[in-house]
Structure 1
Amino acid sequence: MHRREMIRWAGMGATSLSLGLLPRLRAADTMNPASQKILFFTKSSGFEHSVIKRNAGNPSFAEQVLAELGPKQGIGFTFSKDGSLFTPAYLAQFDAYLFYTSGDLLSVGPDGQPAMTPEGKQALLDAVAGGKGFVGVHSASDTFHTNEHGGGNNPIRVQRYQNYGDAADSYVKMLGGEFIRHGPQQIAKARITDPTFPGFGDLGGELNVMEEWYTLKDFAPDLHVQLVMETEGMKGADYARPPYPLAWARLHGKGRVAFNAMGHREDVWTSPAFQNMLIGTLKWAAGVAKADVKPNLERVTPGYATIQPPPPEVVNPPPPRTPAPRANEPAPARPN
């Protein structure tokens, strides 16, 4: 996509959506009313979620939501799927970056959009360490997996069931955690551990939401956790583990980094609770909202380092299936 078209989308309203209550920040949360410039980057080198997929050249569902929220919150969003734009000069124009990505972004992958270069990835990491904000949503944790390279949705995943610590990918260390797998979508409880963080104040003590709940690992030791996955009673072997972080914030050099594992479903994106969390977190990452991000990982999730065992289909994945021949097309020859 050309840059001119991309910026034009950033100012477009989403009149077709019914968003209900819009998120609000308390006056005490905001240091000044200056407008923030935020890049919403949604390249999918792995699985592409429906909420960020553009159809027939139209903005994605998430882009439409943000296009409506942005002007009301003093935020100017720029929307892009073009990894080749990542240079120090390009990144310098933004206050923060919002990622909803997947896979090895150095590869083109299924969405066909231009990949990042290694220099572009380093430019991103340097920009965040130098003071820019970074917020990851949902599959931003399914991005730049440690020891996984190439485009596509990697079918070999047994390597994800361990903590790599200092040997983790540089992006994973910046983000503060990494996706493992998810079980069936279900209504489950997420406990709020810091109602003073911007956007979390009006949510009550917990959320009970139908969602695709990610399991995560390789948590940075300095995480300030705001949302905890309460695993007791959840369906599926993926959740046979102690409670673990779902949303957090941390400092990375001079930059502010945050992540929220929610955001798979369209009805989550239109919910006031998710919008409150997202806008409040973006305000903090951009440096215009205050928060105490003292590490609390061990206190609120003492079993955070425990990883569920890999299921049989991960340990011994089935061989890839040979696609069925099309009509009037001979079946592939069998090897001798």
Structure 2
Amino acid sequence: MRGAALALAASLAATIVPAAAQQAPVQTQATTRPDARRAVLIFTKTAAFRHDSIPDAVRALSDLAEKRGWRAVASEDSALFTPDSLARFDVIVFASATGDLLSAEQRQAFESWLAAGHGFVALHGAGDGSHPDWYSRMIGTGPYTGHPGGADQFQTGNLILLDRTHPATRHLPRRWRWTEEYYAYASPPRADAHILARLDETGMRFEPKQVMGDRHALIWWRCEGRGRIFYSALGHRGETWRDPAHVRMLDGALAWAGRKAGKGC
């Protein structure tokens, strides 16, 4: 299976969907338009919690890539994280990928690829508490303290847009009404993160350890050397990936990570 995955990464001509036996496989097709100028790897491996919305995320992201004339490959095989394989991609997306996913050699290949000026987009579960410390530092999260549970798991609140000049957020209102499983952290993102949107906690129900006040960032970007990193904590529910405003935000994030729009790094 790993040999097949590596051969596909070289050609970008078919779908890679190896998955652990306990995981529901994701099915998608790589785009093959001849005018493709970018390639995106949609990585959905889970070594911790697996979101039911992952297939929805793959479909949405693949559609966005196709509309841009990019090639997209969806995979759950960490064997792709070698220098030769990663060189085929301009952008990598962790679509609710969870857990400790990469070996030491794969991590080194990934970090070198990113430092060379490529783009990384991490979405929802890709920023929870299941990830190793090096990864959390890279995307910029503080220590994860969870999310509301039970009847309070999904709440409707207002996201305050702090920067509406970024390609991912320029279409959004200053106050964006949104329903989500809201992640919380013990501290705000690292100091070099550029926060695009935060949660207005007014009237919302959080455990004391999850209260962050006006520091409750949910969408941001940062640079890792020349590499562009974008994180959004949104996306637990399947319908999220069909919401026009959210999908447009993802399109802007891909464009920015792929250096087709915006500034930074």
Same fold (TM over 0.5): yes
Secondary structure in structure 2 of the residue aligned to 1:9: coil
Deviation at 1:241, TM superposition (A): 2.7
Secondary structure in structure 2 of the residue aligned to 1:6: coil
Deviation at 1:62, TM superposition (A): 1.7
In structure 1, distance between residues paired with 2:145 and 2:69 = 35
Deviation at 1:89, TM superposition (A): 0.8
1:242-257 aligned at under 5 Å gives the runs 242-243=213-214, 244-257=216-229
Does the aligned pair in 2 maintain the 1:141–1:177 contact within 8 Å?
A: yes
1:120-269 aligned at under 5 Å gives the runs 120-142=106-128, 145-146=131-132, 169-178=133-142, 179-183=144-148, 184-216=153-185, 217=187, 219-237=189-207, 239-243=210-214, 244-269=216-241
In structure 1, distance between residues paired with 2:43 and 2:217 = 23
CA displacement, residues 54-109 of structure 1 (integer Å, 9 cap, x when unaligned): xxxxxx2222222322221233211010112211111111111111211111xxxx
Secondary structure in structure 2 of the residue aligned to 1:65: helix
Deviation at 1:265, TM superposition (A): 0.9
In structure 2, distance between residues paired with 1:266 and 1:144 = 21
> In the alignment, does 2:66 pair up with 1:71?
yes
In structure 2, distance between residues paired with 1:78 and 1:46 = 22
In structure 1, distance between residues paired with 2:173 and 2:135 = 32
How has the CA–CA distance of structure 1 residues 96 and 143 changed in structure 2, closer, same or farther, with 3 Å as cutoff? Answer: farther
| Counterpart residue number, 2:15 | 6
> In the alignment, does 2:241 pair up with 1:277?
no
Secondary structure in structure 2 of the residue aligned to 1:69: helix
List structure 1 segments (4+ residues) > 4 angstroms apart after TM superposition.
Answer: none
Deviation at 1:229, TM superposition (A): 1.3
CA displacement, residues 10-48 of structure 1 (integer Å, 9 cap, x when unaligned): 229xxxxxxxxxxxxxxxxxxxx9732111101100000
> In the alignment, does 2:59 pair up with 1:92?
no
| Counterpart residue number, 2:24 | none
Deviation at 1:218, TM superposition (A): 6.0
Secondary structure in structure 2 of the residue aligned to 1:208: strand
How has the CA–CA distance of structure 1 residues 292 and 11 changed in structure 2, closer, same or farther, with 3 Å as cutoff? Answer: closer
Secondary structure in structure 1 of the residue aligned to 2:29: helix
In structure 1, distance between residues paired with 2:174 and 2:229 = 23
Does the aligned pair in 1 maintain the 2:82–2:106 contact within 8 Å?
A: yes
Q: TM-score, normalised by structure 2?
A: 0.81
| Counterpart residue number, 2:42 | 40
Instruction: Give 5+ residue unaligned stretches, structure 1.
Output: 13-32, 53-59, 106-115, 147-168, 294-336
Does the aligned pair in 2 maintain the 1:144–1:172 contact within 8 Å?
A: no
Deviation at 1:141, TM superposition (A): 1.0
How has the CA–CA distance of structure 1 residues 145 and 70 changed in structure 2, closer, same or farther, with 3 Å as cutoff? Answer: closer
In structure 1, distance between residues paired with 2:179 and 2:128 = 20
In structure 1, distance between residues paired with 2:173 and 2:249 = 12
Q: Match of 1:252, as an amino acid?
A: E
How has the CA–CA distance of structure 1 residues 292 and 85 changed in structure 2, closer, same or farther, with 3 Å as cutoff? Answer: closer
> In the alignment, does 2:99 pair up with 1:103?
yes
In structure 1, distance between residues paired with 2:168 and 2:189 = 22
| Counterpart residue number, 1:311 | none
Question: Which structure has the larger Rg over C-alpha atoms?
Answer: 1
Does the aligned pair in 2 maintain the 1:231–1:239 contact within 8 Å?
A: no
